[in-house]
Chains A and B, each alone.
Chain A
Amino acid sequence: MAVPIAFFALFFGYPVAAIVSRGLRDGGQWQLARLGEVLAAPETGQVIWFTVWQAVASTVLTLAIALPSAYVFARFDFPGKHLLRAVVTVPFVLPTVVVGSAFLGLLGRGGVLDQAWGVRLDTGVWAILLAHVFFNYAVVIRTVGGLWGQLDPRQEEAARVLGASRFTAWRRVTLPALAPAVAAAALMVFLFTFTSFGIIQILGGARYATLEVEIYRQTAQFLDLPTAAVLTLLQFAAVGCLLGVHAWTVRRREAALRLVDAAHTSRRPRGAGQWALLWSQLAVMALLILLPLAGLAERSLAGPDGYGFAFYRALQAPPGAGSTFVVAPVAAIGNSLAYAAVATLIALVVGGLAAAALTRRTGRFVRGFDALLMLPLGTSAVTVGFGFLIALDEPPLDLRSSWILVPLAQALVGVPFVIRTMLPVLRAVDDRLREAAAVLGASPLRAWREVDLPLVRRALLIAAGFAFAVSLGEFGATVFIARPDAPTLPVAVERFLGRAGELNYGQAMALSTILMLVCAVTLLALERVRTNRSGEF
C-alpha cells in the first residue's frame, strides 16, 4: 500500500495541491475571499448549472440507448459478437479531437447524413449529448452487459414457473441483481460527462462550458490561477461525492450473486420480437459508432488520386521531404507504443499493489482510498499538467523536461482501470487455497506461482490491455506537458490537423486510423482472455 500512496501523493496530490495553493495564496497569505468572489459570480453559476444538467441528460440518454444493447450482448449469440464488443469500445479510448471530428463528419452540417437525407445536427446541445452517448456507450455495455451475461437465467425462469408474470419475474429477480451494476455504470458515465472537455470544446464552441472547460480557459489561456483554483476545488468536491457513492455501490455489487459462465447464458435469438430487438440494436451501433469510425478510415484512404494508401505512404516520408516532422511521422507510432508500454507497467505495478492492499484490508479508510485512486479520472488535465510544472521543478525531482512525465501522466489515468479490473478477481481468490499449498510444503513463492498467478493472470492481462489502450489515446494531460522532441500519436494527429493542405489532413486521418486499429486490436485481444469476473470493464 505504501507504493501506491507514495505514487499518488507525489505525482497527483502534490502537483495538484501546488497549483491550487498557488492560485489561492498571495504573498504567503491565503486569499479565501477569492473563494467567495468566484463562487458568487454569475458566470460560475451558469457553468455549474450547465455542467450538471448536461451530465444528467447525457447519462440518462446513454443508459436509455445502451441498456437494450447491453441486454443483446448479454443474452444473444450472434456471429461477430466479440469483434463488435471490441469495436464499440474504441471511441472510449480514442482522443476526442479525432473522434469528435469523425462524429461531426457523419452527423454534422454537410455530413454524410445531411447530404443523403438532410438529417443534420448543428453543433450545440444535441450534438454534445449524442457525442457523449457515442463515447460512453461502452461503459454501460461492459459494466452492465458483463454482469447481465453472468446472471443465471434459470432464476427468472423459476420465478415464472412459480406463477410470476414475465415482467414481475424480471422486476423481482433480474432487476435487483442488476441494479448496482446499472448504478455503477450511470455513475461512471456521469463522472465522465461531468468532467467532459474535448466534446464540449469541439461541439459547444464558446456557447457552452463545463467546469473542466472553464478551468482550462482560466489556466492555460488567461493564467487566472485564483479562479481556476476555486473551480478546481469545486470540481473536486463534486467528483469526491460521486466517487464516494460509487465506492459504496461497488461494495454492494460484490454482494453474493449467483454467477454462471457467460457462455452458457446467451443463445441465438428466437421469435420475431427477439430478432427485431437484435437488429434494432445492431442498427443503433452501426449508426452511432461504426459509421463515424468507418468515415474516419474512408477519409484516410481518399487520396488526391482516388482511393489508395497515398497518405499512409506519406507517413514514412523521410525528414525534409515535405514532412512536418523532425522525424518521420511513423516514429510517432513507435513513441506512442513505447510511452504506453511504460505507462502500462507503472499502472500495473501501482494499480496491482493498490488492488492487493484493498483486498486485504477493509474499513472506511480503505474504501476512502479506493475512491481516492479514482480521483485522477475526474481531475482536469491542465491542472495536473501545470501542477507538474510548478511542483516537480527541483532536483532530485526536476522531471519537467524528462520523458518520464508523459507515461506518468498516462499512468494516472490507467491506474483506476487496473484497480477496477483486478479488485473483484483478487477478492475472489480463496485464502484456503494458499493455506493448503503451504501445508503441502510449498514455499511462499511457489504458492503464489501455483495458486495466485493462474487465477489473476487473465485479469492482469485485461488490466494491462485496458491501461495500454487508455494510455495510447490519452491526450489531455500529454498536451499540457512540455515534451522532449517525441510526439505521441494523438499529439501528431493534432499537429497535422492544425495545418492547411490535403496531405496534412490525410496524414492526420491515416494516423488516426492506425491509432484506432491498434486500440481495436488491443481490445479484441482482451475479448479473447475475458474472464468470468473481469471487473467493471
Chain B
Amino acid sequence: MNTSFRRAVGIAVLSTLGAAALAACGSPEASKEASKTVTLVTHDSFEVSEEVLKEFTKETGYQVKVLRGGDAGSAVNQAILSKGNPRGDVFFGVDNTMLSRALDAELFTPYEAKGLAKVPEEFQLDAAKHRVTPIDTGDVCVNYDRKYFADKKLDPPQTLDDLIKPAYKNLLVTENAATSSPGLAFLLATVGRYGEDGWQDYWKKLKANGVDMVDGWEQAYDDRFTGSAGGKKNGDRPLVVSYATSPPAEVFYGGGKNPEQAPTGVSTGTCFQQIEFAGLLDGAKNDKGGKELLDFLLSKAFQEDMPLKMFVNPVRDDAQLPEVFTKYGERIADPHNVAPERIAQHREQWVKQWSSLVK
C-alpha cells in the first residue's frame, strides 16, 4: 500500500482513538453535566423501571448512569480492584456471602440512608457503621416440579434432611459452588444447617443419593429442571436449586393466563437467605448525588418496583408486594444462615472441600 493510503488510514485510527480519548475525558459540556449525573455500578441482574428512574431525576435533578459488569461476584471484585478510584458513586449488589470481603477492602464510605428505620434489624448487618445499606433479600431454595410429584403421588421434599431420603434419589440438580451464586448459597445452607463439622458428611449422603451438579443456574434451571419452560421438553430432574421467587417468575413470565397455582413450588426448609447491599463508594466524585441515590434505593417507589424487576423481596417492611408474589410466592420464615465473617474466613476452603467431595 502506498503512503497516502497509509496516511488516510492513520488519520482514521487516530480519530478513532481520539474519539475514545474524548469519550473518556468528556467534552466541556459533559463535565458540566457530570455534577448532574450520578453513576451506579452494579451487576448484570440489576433492573429498574424507567418511570421510577425518571421520578428520581425529577425530584433530585440527577441523571442516573448505570454501569453493569458481570455477575455479582465479579462485579464486587471489579469494585475492589478499582478501590480508591471508583468508576462510579454507588455500588449495588454485594450480598452477605461477599460482604466481609468488601468491608475488609474498605470499599465504602459510611452513610446512613433515609428510610433505614423501616428496615428490620435482622437485615442490617452493618448497623453500627452504616458502610452498607440493605436493599433487598432473596432466598435460595430447592424448587420442585408440582406436576412430577402429583403424577408420582409423592410428597415433594420440604427440608434438607428429606433430600437424602431414598424416595428422592436421582431427582436433584444443583449448581457449581465455585462459580455460581445459588450454588454457593445452597452449600452455605447446608453449612448453616449441619454446622462446620457436619456439612461434608451431609454432602457425601447427598452424592450417594444421586445429586447432580452443573455449572450455573441457567444450565440447572433451563436445561435440566423439568418444571421450567426450557426444561419442559428436555429436563430430567424435578428438583433444582433456585430461588424462592422463581415460582412467581414462572407465572409472571408464563406468557399466558394466570393459573390457580404456580407450576413449581418451593421446599421451604432448604433455604439460605441472601441480603443484597448498596454503599457509597470510597472516592466517589459525586458523593452528594450518591447519597441521594442510596436514599432512593431505599425509597418506597424503588422498593416496590424491585420485585417485578429483579425478582427479589424489598427490605422495607412497609413496601407492598405485587399480587403475583403474594399469591404464588412463599415467604421463608426460618432460612438457614451463616455469619458473613465466617463465610469470608472459610469460603475458599469450603468450596475447595466441596469440589473434591462432588468430583
Give, as a whole number of angstroms, the nearest-CB distance from B259 to chain A: 12
Interface size grouping (class) on chain B:
35 or more
Give, as a whole number of angstroms, the nearest-CB distance from B343 to chain A: 13
Query: Are the C-beta atoms of A305 and B256 separated by less than 8 Å?
Result: yes
A330–B15 CA distance with the chains assembled, in angstroms: 30
Give, as a whole number of angstroms, the nearest-CB distance from B13 to chain A: 5
Q: Specify the chain B residue showing the minimal Cβ separation from A453.
A: B5
Query: Are the C-beta atoms of A353 and B6 separated by less than 8 Å?
Result: yes
Known contacts being A304-B255, A326-B50, A500-B242, is A398 close to B2, with CB within 8 Å? no
Q: Specify the chain A residue showing the minimal Cβ separation from B3.
A: A444
Q: Does B51 contact A (CB under 8 A)?
A: yes
Query: Are the C-beta atoms of B50 and A320 separated by less than 8 Å?
Result: yes
Q: Give the residues from 271 to 321 in chain A that come closer than 8 angstroms, CB to CB, to chain B.
A: 299, 302-305, 310, 314, 319-320
CB < 8 Å neighbour of A326 from B1, B47, B217, B219? B47
Q: Does B38 contact A (CB under 8 A)?
A: no
Query: Are the C-beta atoms of A482 and B78 separated by less than 8 Å?
Result: yes
Known contacts being A220-B74, A491-B44, is A402 close to B24, with CB within 8 Å? yes
A438–B246 CA distance with the chains assembled, in angstroms: 72
Q: Does A445 contact B (CB under 8 A)?
A: yes
Q: Most chain-A Cβ atoms within 10 A of its Cβ — which of B51, B65, B82? A: B82
Give, as a whole number of angstroms, the nearest-CB distance from A10 to chain B: 8
Query: Are the C-beta atoms of B77 and A223 separated by less than 8 Å?
Result: yes
Residues in B whose Cβ lies below 8 Å from that of A503: 229, 253-255
Q: Give the residues from 332 to 359 in chain A that come closer than 8 angstroms, CB to CB, to chain B.
A: 342, 345-346, 349-350, 352-353, 356
Query: Are the C-beta atoms of A310 and B255 separated by less than 8 Å?
Result: yes
Query: Are the C-beta atoms of B1 and A356 separated by less than 8 Å?
Result: yes
Q: Does B214 contact A (CB under 8 A)?
A: yes
Q: Does B228 contact A (CB under 8 A)?
A: yes
CB < 8 Å neighbour of A201 from B23, B66, B179? B179
Known contacts being A480-B74, A498-B217, A505-B229, is A399 close to B24, with CB within 8 Å? yes
Q: Does A253 contact B (CB under 8 A)?
A: no
CB < 8 Å neighbour of A501 from B88, B218, B229, B234? B229
Residues in B whose Cβ lies below 8 Å from that of A349: 9, 12-13, 16
Query: Are the C-beta atoms of A356 and B6 separated by less than 8 Å?
Result: yes
Query: Are the C-beta atoms of B9 and A353 separated by less than 8 Å?
Result: yes
A206–B12 CA distance with the chains assembled, in angstroms: 46
Q: Does B45 contact A (CB under 8 A)?
A: yes
Q: Does B207 contact A (CB under 8 A)?
A: no
Query: Are the C-beta atoms of B88 and A500 separated by less than 8 Å?
Result: no
Q: Give the residues from 107 to 164 in chain A that come closer than 8 angstroms, CB to CB, to chain B.
A: 108-112, 123
Query: Are the C-beta atoms of A320 and B216 separated by less than 8 Å?
Result: no
Query: Are the C-beta atoms of B236 and A397 separated by less than 8 Å?
Result: no
- On chain A, the number of residues with a Cβ less than 8 Å from chain B's Cβ atoms is 94
Q: Does A202 contact B (CB under 8 A)?
A: yes
CB < 8 Å neighbour of B49 from A109, A319, A487, A499? A319
Residues in B whose Cβ lies below 8 Å from that of A248: none
Residues in A whose Cβ lies below 8 Å from that of B51: 320
Q: Does A506 contact B (CB under 8 A)?
A: yes
Known contacts being A319-B49, A402-B23, is A445 close to B82, with CB within 8 Å? no
Query: Are the C-beta atoms of A101 and B219 separated by less than 8 Å?
Result: yes
As a 0/1 sequence over residues 178 to 205 of chain B, the CB contacts with chain A under 8 angstroms (1 = contact) are 1100000000000000000000000000
Residues in B whose Cβ lies below 8 Å from that of A395: 24-25
Q: Does B19 contact A (CB under 8 A)?
A: yes
Q: Does B222 contact A (CB under 8 A)?
A: yes
Residues in B whose Cβ lies below 8 Å from that of A216: 179
Residues in B whose Cβ lies below 8 Å from that of A302: 233
Residues in A whose Cβ lies below 8 Å from that of B348: 222, 224
CB < 8 Å neighbour of A495 from B44, B81, B217? B44
Residues in A whose Cβ lies below 8 Å from that of B56: none
Residues in B whose Cβ lies below 8 Å from that of A448: 1-2, 4-5
Residues in A whose Cβ lies below 8 Å from that of B10: 3, 353
CB < 8 Å neighbour of B222 from A220, A222, A322, A505? A505
Residues in B whose Cβ lies below 8 Å from that of A304: 254-256
Query: Are the C-beta atoms of B359 and A206 separated by less than 8 Å?
Result: yes
Q: Give the residues from 1 to 50 in chain B that come closer than 8 angstroms, CB to CB, to chain A.
A: 1-6, 9-10, 12-13, 16-17, 19-21, 23-25, 39, 41, 44-45, 47-50
Residues in B whose Cβ lies below 8 Å from that of A393: 82, 85
CB < 8 Å neighbour of B20 from A97, A394, A404, A434? A404
Q: Does A363 contact B (CB under 8 A)?
A: no
Give, as a whole number of angstroms, the nearest-CB distance from A485 to chain B: 5
Residues in B whose Cβ lies below 8 Å from that of A390: 81-82
A219–B47 CA distance with the chains assembled, in angstroms: 26
Residues in A whose Cβ lies below 8 Å from that of B230: 101, 299, 505
Q: Does A84 contact B (CB under 8 A)?
A: no
Query: Are the C-beta atoms of B23 and A403 separated by less than 8 Å?
Result: yes
Pairs A-B, 10 closest by C-beta atoms:
A501-B253, A502-B229, A482-B69, A220-B74, A503-B253, A500-B249, A304-B255, A110-B236, A404-B20, A505-B229
Chain B positions within 8 Å of A, measured between CB atoms, are: 1-6, 9-10, 12-13, 16-17, 19-21, 23-25, 39, 41, 44-45, 47-51, 53, 65-71, 73-75, 77-78, 80-82, 85, 87-88, 101, 176-179, 213-219, 221-224, 228-231, 233-236, 242-243, 246-247, 249-256, 309, 311, 348, 355, 358-359
- A sample of 4 more A-B contacts (CB under 8 A), given A104-B234, A479-B69, A503-B253, is A97-B218, A480-B74, A500-B311, A503-B255
